[in-house]
Amino acid sequence: MNKLHLAALPLILFLLAFFYAPLAVLAYYSIIEEDGGYGLDNYIELFRDPAYLKVVLYSVAIAGQTTLATLLLSLPAAYYIAIHSRGPEKAALLVAMITPFWIDFLLRALAIKNIMYLLDLREGYASMMAGMVYDYLPYMFLPVYASLSGIRESLLQAARALGAGPLHIATKIILPLALPGIVAGSILVFLMSMTEYVIPALLGGTQGFTIGTLIYYLFLSGDKWGQGSALTLLITTTLLIATLILSRRRTIQ
Amino acid sequence: MGGVTVRLEDVSKYYGSTRAVDGVTLSIPSGTITTLLGPSGCGKTTTLKLIAGLEEPSRGRILFNDRDVTMLPPEKRNIGMVFQDLALFPHMTVFENIAFGLRIRKVPESEIRRRVHDILELVNLDPNLYSSRKPGQLSGGQQQRVALARALVIEPDILLLDEPFAHLDFKIKQRLLLELRRIQRRLGITTIYVTHDQNEAMAVSDKVVIMNNGRIIQEGPPDQVYENPANTFVATFYGDSNLIEGSRLGVDGLVAIRPEKIMINPRNHADIVYDGVIEDVIFQGPILRLEVRINGLTLKLIHPRGNGFTPRPGDRVRVGWRLSDMKVLRE
């Protein structure tokens, strides 16, 4: 036995105190029923009331749209910067892509709100999607850029010499080689945006009723701690299992 | 395949104010291997990329036979190219790499299988063993063979090779050079080979084109260029030479003499004879490299080993050469 496992201890204690212990408390709350006894009523209610399912599906849809929008924006830009730009231009473009994300996202969300007001757009679907895309762009851009920057120019030249036109090069060389980055970025953005709270609450208005805002209301407005806890646990567990499956499949490959 | 002559007419390529290729006029005979030889930055790789269509010339014309291809993109030139880093597609198997160009040409799948099989045998890779491997699972020499097979399988008019053996061990390089010769002769394909290595150029070419600073310095059959270097650059870059001020020997300009042309203790074969002292002896297997000092000048010599001749530094020797082995250089 070596004692190196002690090196991980401080972080484990930190997470224990601020994440896992509260999660255990949530688990406890989730099995307290309205009459004060213990049982699975809160979980059953989640499945019985179709309103909950509707909110979950709506969140999945928003997360899916966020993932798709960030991918469609990132892919062409990352392709241009990684493969066709070089020297000072490349450095300038990369800095320009990353700089916005040094600023706290809450401030950026508020800025979007003001810009939308200037455009005469109030809180709602458009504002919320603008905020979501803005917030999650780097989590898509960076992995996609990383996988594309591994493509040497000579690979594309070799494909051209063999007779490949732009369409062949895009579908047979660039996309397959960018796929690991696309998959990694999509998983990251989808899972994170699914449980996003601040953006829908701040920018979503009546359209902002996602899982995050629902949990918030169950705890702080609706005074339904039991169902709030049950919902939180259910979503966390689902995402955990999804992450495990996806990461295992990726290591196998 | 084969039969295609490549001509460059006053071709230049500028990058800003840099002249990477500067007024190159060159004729590459069909069915031969021509080597573009020169130090790094001499413009040889740029010239190759101009022929491939991967770069566009700033000036001049490029012709395949009598067809002007100057403005034709690479995918329309029907060339086979092997890159310095090989550029094998890492996500495809050996089979898919080689089949890539055939699939673009919409060759039927059964014919693709046959042609990939045949070309792998031509480059001495067992098709059953290697077809389904990824490039990352192959040795450097095997990757080299796949790159060559991928370039050849499309039956290109011209084969272009950009320092393809630069990263290989000496022994593997020697073997692949011989195989390249064999394959090239068998297919009779016009081949252009870029290298900075004079030994590769001598071993493989029908014609060498020596380049420096974007220009052609000298061209011709490898042995003729070796015997008659046009100037100081060729005399010292393509093989080694002793450079001697002509005034010492009663001629104008600079005189070059190859190290192996200087004889030690010549009887009456030499026209010019000096007394000297051996400064250094380097053992190199079948030959010895000697440095001999003759009044104020150090000469490099190559001498076969053996025959009871065991020179040591400090030994006094007589050295000499024939007048006909001296080459007066232009510059």
The pLDDT tens digits for A204-243 are 888 888 999 999 988 888 788 888 999 999 998 988 888 8
Asked if A165 lies within 8 A of B150 by C-beta distance, the reply is no
Question: How far apart are the C-alpha atoms of B318 and B294, rounded to whole Å?
Answer: 9
Average pLDDT, stretch B157-165?
93
Shortest CB distance from B74 goes to which of A152, A161, A173?
A161
pLDDT > 70? residue A18: yes
| B 64-93 → A contacts, CB under 8 A | 73-76, 78-81, 83-85, 87-91
Question: How far apart are the C-alpha atoms of A124 and A126, rounded to whole Å?
Answer: 6
Please report whether residue B34 resides in a domain: yes
Give the pLDDT confidence score for residue B131 in this predicted structure. 94
Average pLDDT, chain B: 91
Q: Are both B152 and B259 inside the same structural domain?
A: no
Question: How far apart are the C-alpha atoms of B245 and B257, rounded to whole Å?
Answer: 11
Question: How far apart are the C-alpha atoms of B329 and B112, rounded to whole Å?
Answer: 54
Give the pLDDT confidence score for residue B1 in this predicted structure. 44
Give the pLDDT confidence score for residue B323 in this predicted structure. 87
Q: Are both B25 and B121 inside the same structural domain?
A: yes
Give the pLDDT confidence score for residue B290 in this predicted structure. 92
Q: End of a domain among B215, B233, B251?
A: B233
Asked if B75 lies within 8 A of A163 by C-beta distance, the reply is yes
Q: A157 — contact with chain B (CB < 8 Å)?
A: yes
Q: Are both B124 and B147 inside the same structural domain?
A: yes
For residue A152, the chain B residues in CB contact (below 8 A) are 85, 87
Give the pLDDT confidence score for residue A90 in this predicted structure. 93
For residue B150, the chain A residues in CB contact (below 8 A) are 158, 162
Q: List, for residues B221-237, the tens digit of each pLDDT value.
A: 999 999 999 899 999 99
Q: Are both B184 and B247 inside the same structural domain?
A: no
Q: B54 — contact with chain A (CB < 8 Å)?
A: yes
Shortest distance between the Cα of A77 and any Cα of chain B, in A, equals 23
Using CA atoms, how far residue B24 sits from A70, A108, B13, B44, in Å, is 49, 58, 10, 11
Q: List, for residues A52-72, the tens digit of each pLDDT value.
A: 899 999 999 999 999 999 999
Q: Are both B223 and B319 inside the same structural domain?
A: no
Per DSSP, the residues of chain A read: --GGGGGGHHHHHHHIIIIIHHHHHHHHHHTB-TTS-BSSHHHHHHHH-HHHHHHHHHHHHHHHHHHHHHHHHHHHHHHIIIII--HHHHHHHHHHHHGGGGS-HHHHHHHHHHHHHHTT--SSHHHHHHHHHHHHHHHHHHHHHHHHTTS-HHHHHHHHHTT--HHHIIIIIIHHHHHHHHHHHHHHHHHHHHT--HHHHHH-GGG---HHHHHHHHHHTS--HHHHHHHHHHHHHHHHHHHHHHHHHHHH-
pLDDT > 60? residue A194: yes
pLDDT band at A160 (very low <50, low <70, confident <90, very high): very high
Q: List, for residues B266-316, the tens digit of each pLDDT value.
A: 887 888 888 999 999 998 888 899 999 987 889 999 988 877 778 889 899
Question: How far apart are the C-alpha atoms of B205 and A134, rounded to whole Å?
Answer: 59
Give the pLDDT confidence score for residue B142 in this predicted structure. 93
Asked if B83 lies within 8 A of A159 by C-beta distance, the reply is no
Asked if B154 lies within 8 A of A163 by C-beta distance, the reply is yes
Q: Would you put residue B245 in left (φ > 0), alpha (ψ -120 to 50) or beta? A: beta
Shortest distance between the Cα of B308 and any Cα of chain A, in A, equals 55
Residue B38 vs residue A221, higher pLDDT: B38
Q: List, for residues B240-255, the tens digit of each pLDDT value.
A: 999 988 888 777 888 8
Q: Are both B20 and B104 inside the same structural domain?
A: yes
Average pLDDT, stretch A73-77?
94
Tokens 């705890």, located at residue: A219
State which H helix or E strand residue B284 sits in.
Answer: strand B272-284
Give the pLDDT confidence score for residue A3 in this predicted structure. 74
Q: Which chain A residue's Cα is nearest to B149?
A: A162
pLDDT > 70? residue A190: yes
Q: Which chain B residue's Cα is nearest to A150?
A: B90
Q: End of a domain among B209, B233, B257?
A: B233
Average pLDDT, stretch B202-221?
94
> How many domains does the structure of chain B reveal?
2
State which H helix or E strand residue B200 sits in.
Answer: helix B198-204
**Sheet of B272-284, strands arranged across:** B263-264, B316-321, B272-284, B287-294, B297-304
User: Which of helix, strand or coil describes residue B313?
Assistant: coil
For residue B83, the chain A residues in CB contact (below 8 A) are 154, 157-158
Q: Are both B186 and B321 inside the same structural domain?
A: no
Please report whether residue B1 resides in a domain: no
Shortest CB distance from A162 goes to which of B84, B85, B154?
B154
- CATH code of B168's domain: 3.40.50.300
For residue A160, the chain B residues in CB contact (below 8 A) are 54, 73-75
- CATH code of B309's domain: 2.40.50.100
Give the pLDDT confidence score for residue A251 in this predicted structure. 57
Q: Are both B225 and B263 inside the same structural domain?
A: no
Q: Are both B167 and B76 inside the same structural domain?
A: yes
pLDDT band at B167 (very low <50, low <70, confident <90, very high): confident
pLDDT band at B331 (very low <50, low <70, confident <90, very high): low
Q: End of a domain among B233, B259, B294?
A: B233
Q: Are both B251 and B115 inside the same structural domain?
A: no
Shortest CB distance from B74 goes to which of A160, A168, A176?
A160
Q: Are both B97 and B115 inside the same structural domain?
A: yes
User: Which of helix, strand or coil describes residue B268?
Assistant: coil
Q: Among the listed ranges A207-211, B80-84, B86-90, which one has the minimum average pLDDT value? A: A207-211
Q: List, for residues A78-87, the tens digit of each pLDDT value.
A: 999 998 888 8
Q: Are both B32 and B89 inside the same structural domain?
A: yes
Q: List, for residues B10-27, the tens digit of each pLDDT value.
A: 999 999 889 999 999 999
Asked if A165 lies within 8 A of B52 by C-beta distance, the reply is no
Q: Which chain A residue's Cα is nearest to B106?
A: A163
Which residue segment(s) compose the domain that B250 sits in? 241-329
Please report whether residue B70 resides in a domain: yes
Domains within chain A, CATH numbers bracketed: 41-252 (1.10.3720.10)
